[in-house]
């Protein structure tokens, strides 16, 4: 019996004229696929949007999330002061001594690490727990004695367990101390348009509301262009549930909750580039989750032959995606264990098309139902495979 569980997410989402993710020339990012130029949104742009959605839209409390910063030492000092009322200087000394064991290269600024470290707020509190009972004795010690005493405390071990869900999903790389590395459980692909996409230029002028009275009207006081594109995007991500559970200390419930949060945040988040210019926030037209016990299957090949449609790009993209999913099952034997999908049956679709969609995606569900269905299924499967 296989010991893997992957959850593939396929999203089709249309965005109006917009510039979600741009390059150094200000153009929306692009890529060629199947010989046709496509609009592209990089994976890192959407991962950051997903991480921010954990906080802002899902309102996941801070102690369940991570923070990515060079300032672990001063954050730890702040936490020590809040908990034990020692003064700033003593908290700084204690914090430095506690983190010395990590041997993380120091940054150019005092108290900062040389690179961004991604860790959980709850992990910081757990480090404070290690010393909270004996702070007064510790701060009274001389530097050498303090270093020796705290050297025995399991600081490293504390940072290696109890990861917040964003660290567990997106991983962490610590160059100086590989025992702190966390292998990412989620893989996110660059989103690309299902169809050939054109970049357009919006020529704009801005008029001075208070022109100089001594001059004739000169017309615009400023002119410029903003580049934009509109696209129906295919977005893909996969989550290795066996990896996610291992990252979360073998806790099935925590892994299932993190998966639910990821599906919701990935589906509902949107990069904010030029957001106020284009008001581009849309919701997906299709969110399909496939639970697999064989291998992740990226269906972007459905759009290798770009969609050209008279009847709407979403409708045609949905049908092509369904065909590719069915083909993957039939021709390559890559049949998902479960598929749950939020989608609209395209208007005016023939009974054949409707049947094709149902065969691939199942009956349409709401996003909440998709998440519940997948969570229930994955929980059962996790019980059947032993943690590694």
Partner 1 sequence: MTAEHTAISGWYLVLRLAGPLQSWGGHSQFNRRDTQAEPTKSGIIGLLAAAQGRRRHDPIEDLLGLSFGVRTDQPGSMLRDYHTVSDLRGRPLLSATVNAKRTQKTTSPPKLTHVTRRFYLQDAVFVAAVNGPRELLESLRDALYGPAFPLFLGRRACPPTQPLLLSPSDDNPQTLWPGTSLLDVLRQVPWQAGEAHRRDRDGHRRTTLPVTIDDPSGDDIRADVPVTFDPHHRDFTSRRIRQEWVVLDDDTSSTREDDHDPFALLGGDR
- Contact between 237 and 211 (Cβ < 8 Å): no
Residues 72-111 that bind partner 1 (CB under 8 A): 108-110
Q: Decide: residue 161, CB within 10 A, 0-12 exposed, 13-18 middle, 19+ buried.
A: middle
33 binds partner 1 (CB under 8 A): yes
The verdict on 266 binding partner 1 (CB under 8 A) reads no
Q: Is 312 in the site for partner 1 (CB under 8 A)?
A: no
Residue 192 or 248: which CB sits closer to partner 1? 192
Candidate residues 149, 257, 272, 301; the one interacting with partner 1 per rule CB under 8 A: 301
Q: Which tokens go with 187?
A: 């893989």
Q: Is the dihedral of CA 34, 298, 248, 377 positive or negative?
A: positive
- Host H or E run for residue 124: helix 121-131
Contact 8, 297 (CB under 8 A): yes
Q: Which is nearer to partner 1, 181 or 221 (CB)?
A: 181
Nearer to partner 1, 24 or 152 (CB): 24
Rounded CA gap, 146 and 64, in Å?
31
Measured CA distances, 267 to 38, 263, 311 (Å): 21, 6, 25
Determine the longest span between alpha carbons in the chain, in angstroms.
85
What is the smallest separation between the CB atom of 140 and partner 1, expressed in angstroms? 30
For residues 317 and 338, what is the distance between their CA atoms, to the nearest angstrom? Answer: 21
Neighbour-count burial for 253-286, b at 16+ CB within 10 Å, e otherwise: ebbbbbbbbbbbbbbbbbbebbeeebebeeebbb
CB of 377 to partner 1, least distance (A): 18
- Go through 97-134 and write b for each residue having 16 or more CB atoms within 10 A of its CB, e for each that does not: bbbebbebeeeeeebbbeeebbbbbbbbbbbbeebeee
Q: Does 23 bind partner 1 (CB under 8 A)?
A: yes
Tell me, residue by residue from 323 to 342, as one string, x for binding to partner 1 by CB under 8 A and - for no binding: -----x--xxxx--------
- Site size with partner 1, rule: CB under 8 A: 59
How many Å apart are CA 68 and CA 120, to the nearest integer?
Answer: 9
Binding mask 188-227 for partner 1 (x = CB under 8 A): xxx-x---x-------------------------------
User: What one-character DSSP code corresponds to residue 345?
Assistant: P
> Of 277 and 298, which has the nearer Cβ to partner 1?
298
- Of 161 and 177, the one with the shorter C-beta distance to partner 1 is 177
| 262 counts as binding partner 1 under rule CB under 8 A | no
With CB under 8 A as the contact rule, which of the stretches 24-32, 135-143, 150-158, 216-224 interacts with partner 1?
24-32
* Minimal distance, residue 277 CB to partner 1, in Å: 19
Q: Tell which one of 132, 143, 173, 220 touches partner 1 (CB under 8 A).
A: 173
In the window 111-170, what residues touch partner 1 (CB under 8 A)? none
**Which residues contact partner 1 (rule: CB under 8 A)?**
2, 4, 6, 22-24, 29, 31-38, 42-44, 67-69, 108-110, 173, 175, 178, 181, 183-184, 187-190, 192, 196, 236, 238, 240, 242-243, 293-301, 304-306, 308, 328, 331-334
């Amino acid at each position: 019996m296989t010991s893997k569980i992957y959850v593939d997410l396929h999203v089709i989402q249309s965005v109006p004229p917009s510039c979600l993710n741009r390059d150094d020339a200000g153009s929306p990012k692009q890529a060629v696929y199947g010989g046709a130029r496509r609009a592209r949104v990089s994976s890192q742009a959407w991962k950051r949007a997903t991480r921010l959605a954990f906080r802002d839209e899902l309102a996941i409390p801070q102690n369940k999330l991570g923070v990515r910063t060079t300032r672990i030492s001063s954050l730890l000092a702040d936490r020590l002061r809040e908990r034990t009322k020692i003064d700033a200087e003593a908290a700084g000394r204690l914090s430095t001594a506690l983190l010395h064991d990590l041997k993380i290269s120091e940054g150019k600024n005092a108290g900062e690490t040389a690179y961004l470290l991604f860790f959980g707020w709850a992990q910081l509190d757990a480090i404070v727990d290690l010393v909270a009972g004996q702070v007064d004795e510790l701060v009274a010690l001389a530097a050498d004695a303090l270093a020796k005493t705290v050297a025995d405390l399991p600081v490293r071990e504390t940072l290696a367990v109890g990861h917040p869900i964003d660290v567990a999903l997106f991983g962490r790389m610590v160059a100086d101390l590989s025992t702190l590395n966390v292998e990412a459980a989620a893989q996110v692909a660059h989103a690309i348009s299902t169809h050939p996409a054109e970049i357009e230029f919006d020529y704009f002028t801005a008029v001075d509301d208070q022109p100089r009275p001594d001059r004739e009207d000169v017309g615009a006081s400023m002119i410029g262009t903003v580049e934009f594109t509109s696209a129906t995007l295919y977005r893909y991500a996969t989550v290795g549930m066996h990896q996610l559970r291992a990252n979360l200390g073998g806790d099935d419930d925590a892994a299932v909750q993190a998966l639910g949060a990821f599906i919701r945040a990935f589906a509902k988040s949107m990069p904010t580039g030029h957001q106020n210019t284009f008001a581009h926030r849309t919701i997906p037209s299709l969110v399909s989750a496939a639970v697999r016990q064989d291998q992740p299957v990226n269906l972007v090949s459905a759009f290798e032959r770009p969609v050209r449609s008279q009847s709407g790009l979403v409708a045609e993209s949905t049908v092509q995606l369904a065909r590719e999913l069915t083909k993957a099952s039939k021709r390559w034997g890559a049949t998902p264990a479960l598929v749950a999908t939020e989608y609209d049956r395209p208007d005016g679709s023939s009974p054949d098309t409707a049947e094709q969609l149902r065969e691939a995606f199942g009956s349409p569900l709401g996003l909440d139902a998709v998440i519940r269905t997948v969570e229930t299924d994955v929980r059962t499967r996790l019980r059947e495979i032993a943690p590694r």
